[in-house]
Amino acid sequence: MRTDTEANNESRSRSQKAHMDPSKRQLLQDALAKAVAHNSFIAVGTTKGERIFLQPDFTCYENHVEGTSREGEIVSLTYADISSVGVSQ
């Protein structure tokens, strides 16, 4: 059985993960402007060391980002999963 403290900590942890990260959202918006101007992809580095190339059709939601990869697959990333954002050809 969980204690009240454990339940509160779990609830706080979920709510922190559920909110948008304004700094990462701004990085995505800046990369979007550059990608559109240069007909490029948005290069997103993940905390797992992956690099995902998004088309400039992504949407920022409250707790994640969804978009289409360079290969045409739907991609969903939480803000916590994003480690870097840039632009790539």
Confidence (pTM): 0.75
The predicted-structure confidence for 18-42, as pLDDT tens digits, reads as follows 578 899 999 999 999 999 999 999 9
Domain ranges of the chain: 19-88
CATH code assigned to 19-88: 2.30.30.100
pLDDT, residue 7, reads 41
For the sheet with 64-68, list strands across it: 59-60, 64-68, 74-78
Q: Which two tokens stand for residue 11?
A: 């609830």
